[in-house]
Amino acid sequence: MNTFFIKKSTGLAGRYRVPGDKSISHRSIMLGSIAEGVTEVSGLLEAEDVLATLATFESMGVNIERLGDGCLRIHGVGLHGLKAPSNDLYVGNSGTSMRLLVGLLAGQAFDATLTGDVSLSKRPMRRVLDPLVLMGAKVQSNENGFSPLKISGGRSLTAIDYVMPMGSAQVKSCLLLAGLYAAGTTRVTEPAVTRDHTERMLEGFGYVVEKTGNTISVTGGGTLTATKVDVPTDISSAAFMLVAALITSNSDITLEHVGINPTRTGIIDILKAMGADLTLENNRIIGGEEVADIRVKSSPLKGIHIPEKFVGLAIDEFPVIFVAAACAEGETVLTGAAELRVKESDRIQSMAEGLQAVGVDAQASDDGMIIQGGSIKGGIVESYDDHRIAMSFAVAGLRSEQGIQVNNCENVKTSFPSFMALAKKCGFNLTVR
């Protein structure tokens, strides 16, 4: 079990690159596998979650050459070329793998079972199973709506018009992937904008995707054509370094080549509204995704009421935004973010308990949090087996009076295996035992 010990730091400096974007990495493997031809991927995040997706496609007969340093050569088998796996498909901690794969598997000729770790086996799956059943899929969870998920092959899927009850890129993507196999045009309407990497990447693979307002449609029966995917670095990983530099005096760091797709940049808007000295430099488009270098300097922050329009655009960054709020002057209020309760842990509960344990006045509500900014005393917190909780409290330690111990940080491997090394290079006062 990894335990993090973090103490105050004297300042962070330098230029760094965080690893590849997790969402785009998953999708590059999925679409590359079902495309016609050879897809070359560079900048892939080689972390447990993404490697779980990779392993499932290998189990379904796809030849994926791992060339090292984030490069893959995927020998696509076409939409109907996947083979029945001989074992259950285990995706570890990865909600994205499970929810997107169940959509893809619903359209196959063979049966399959998806399983995950203890945390993933407690996350809601009815949100994807219910609409898939409406499309004619035969997909089953346990009686609580949790995995293992059993998918029966050989079903004819029919397109549906589906209005999603929650903002979720995973649900949207699941249905778009099932839609590739359905007769007719599948239309998915989202209540709020969520990350659009699936739509963009389908287009990159030559598949027609239509967007009208918040409705996204695909028509089944087309083909995907292999392409090159250059994965930008992950703004969700960069977020830890951004907040770390903001709350540590004498800091000035630049994070290079960060994906700034507008469906992911809520963190930038929120931190700027809190007073962050943060600038985007060298903006460019790489493979259909916008990328920039982000420079950030230590800044006095102030508490804000976070506009709900940013919730979907910063959904994975709230744990570390709460840390920024704990260091800000005044009150920060978040509402409209009940989805945080069904992530790798209940992130409202985990963060409220952790912040209280280190001396911060943080009050959880059903759909958000109220934090009185000020100082962080320090103490011992749990990661609740959630990578983003572990890394958020590592950041909080930089401003703590007495240091912070974070228990059970093994899970950082799921999204950011180089976090410890990179954090130390940046100037974190971090030891791991």
Question: Hey, which residues are catalytic here?
Answer: 316
Name which of 124 and 379 has its Cβ closer to ligand S3P: 124
Q: Per the structure block, which two tokens stand in for 411? A: 């899970």
We find the least distance from the C-beta atom of residue 96 to ligand S3P, in angstroms, to be 4
Name which of 56 and 194 has its Cβ closer to ligand S3P: 194
We find the least distance from the C-beta atom of residue 433 to ligand S3P, in angstroms, to be 28
We find the least distance from the C-beta atom of residue 178 to ligand S3P, in angstroms, to be 15
Name which of 49 and 293 has its Cβ closer to ligand S3P: 49
We find the least distance from the C-beta atom of residue 166 to ligand S3P, in angstroms, to be 8
Q: Report how far residue 433's alpha carbon sits from residue 421's, in angstroms, rounded to the nearest whole number.
A: 14
We find the least distance from the C-beta atom of residue 388 to ligand S3P, in angstroms, to be 9
Name which of 91 and 247 has its Cβ closer to ligand S3P: 91
We find the least distance from the C-beta atom of residue 418 to ligand S3P, in angstroms, to be 18
We find the least distance from the C-beta atom of residue 235 to ligand S3P, in angstroms, to be 12
Name which of 26 and 155 has its Cβ closer to ligand S3P: 26
Q: What residues make contact with ligand S3P under the rule CB under 6 A?
A: 23, 96, 168-170, 173, 194-195, 315-316, 339
Q: Which residue is nearest to ligand S3P (CB)?
A: 23
- What is the SS3 assignment for the chain? CCCEEEECCCCCEEEECCCECHHHHHHHHHHHHCCEEEEEEECCCCCHHHHHHHHHHHHCCCEEEEEECCEEEEEEECCCCCCCCCCCEECCCCHHHHHHHHHHHCCCCCCEEEECCCCHHHCCCHHHHHHHHHCCCEEECCCCCCCCEEEECCCCEECCEEECCCCCHHHHHHHHHHHCCEECEEEEECCCCCCCHHHHHHHHCCCCCEEECCEEEEECCCCCECCEEECCECHHHHHHHHHHHHHCCCCEEEEEEEECCCCCCHHHHHHHHCCCEEEEEEEEEECCEEEEEEEEECCCCECCECCHHHCHHHCCCHHHHHHHHHCCECEEEECCCHHHHHCCCCHHHHHHHHHHHCCCEEEEECCEEEEECCCECCEEEECCCCHHHHHHHHHHHCCECCCEEEECCHHHHHCCCCHHHHHHHHCCEEEEC
Name which of 39 and 53 has its Cβ closer to ligand S3P: 53
Name which of 55 and 313 has its Cβ closer to ligand S3P: 313
